[in-house]
Chain A
């Protein structure tokens, strides 16, 4: 009799624990898809900051200087890097699993309008070049 009583108590305690656990599991699964998006956000953000930083360095060193860049690994996604000379902005546009992610950054140095399309971990270059007709140094991207 006493044993039976104990197991009844235990059963209800287990029920309450299961209710709580189910809730936590549900919350965790809904977090996973968001976490995957944030993985891409972080990579795109980091990549764009690197581009701004390196284009400034290339400009500072001067004509003919090149820096090799590697596109981040986006689980099979593609990246388009655009240097917009008109507005002097660096635009990084990534496409992962049909979703588009983009960021627009202001460049601190003059840019020449140019763009590259990249796949994951593909190499490209940031180049400083001297425009003889304008007499100005510009930074551009090329493969």
Chain B
């Protein structure tokens, strides 16, 4: 009699522990996926931005459609190496919309920053649409149901 009561108690305890573990997992997993998604998007943008910088610094033009948004900006540089690099990346998230601001830096103040910034921005949007699983829909990038806005700024 005592034996079976003990058993029932152990089973009850185990259920309790198991439920705590399961609730813990249920809490951890969605936030983990959310974090993982944000990290993925940011690393895509970062990789793409540094590719744009490498392309502009290299000075070699190509007819590869991935790089076509950068070609006109590269031609206006007229053989000058702009020494661009990614200074920092800022992200902000409001109601399912992630805004990623990429800040590039160049030692030359004579470079037309506006043209360069918009060219790099167009490149990143196209590149992410073509090579990653972000999808361009009505001019906005989407990763699942998250809208991704990209802004590029060049600081002299």
User: Which A residues lie at the B interface, using CB under 8 A?
Assistant: 1, 5, 8-9, 12, 16, 19-20, 23, 26-27, 30-31, 33-34, 37-38, 40-42, 44-45, 48, 99-106
Known contacts: A5-B21, A20-B36, A37-B64. The answer to whether A104 contacts B79 by CB under 8 A is yes
Task: Contacts A5-B21, A33-B131, A34-B51 given; indicate if A27 touches B43 (C-beta within 8 A).
Answer: yes
B14 to chain A, nearest CB (A): 6
Contact between B131 and A41, CB atoms less than 8 A apart = no
- Give the distance in Å from the alpha carbon of A104 to the alpha carbon of B60 in the complex: 8
B interface majority secondary structure: helix
Known: A27-B44, A30-B131. A44 touches B32 (CB 8 A): no
Asked whether any CB of chain A lies closer than 8 Å to the CB of B140, the reply is no
What are 17 contact pairs spanning A and B, CB under 8 A?
Answer: A5-B14, A5-B17, A12-B29, A19-B32, A19-B36, A34-B51, A34-B131, A37-B62, A38-B54, A41-B55, A41-B58, A41-B60, A45-B60, A99-B64, A100-B63, A103-B61, A106-B79
B69 at interface by CB-CB < 8 Å? no
Our count of residue pairs bridging A and B at CB distance below 8 angstroms stands at 65
State whether B33 touches A19 (Cβ < 8 A).
yes
- Secondary structure type dominating chain A contacts: helix
Across the interface, do A31 and B47 meet the contact criterion of CB distance under 8 Å?
yes
A102 & B61 in contact (Cβ 8 Å cutoff): yes
Query: How many Å lie between the Cα of A38 and that of B17 in the bound state?
Result: 54
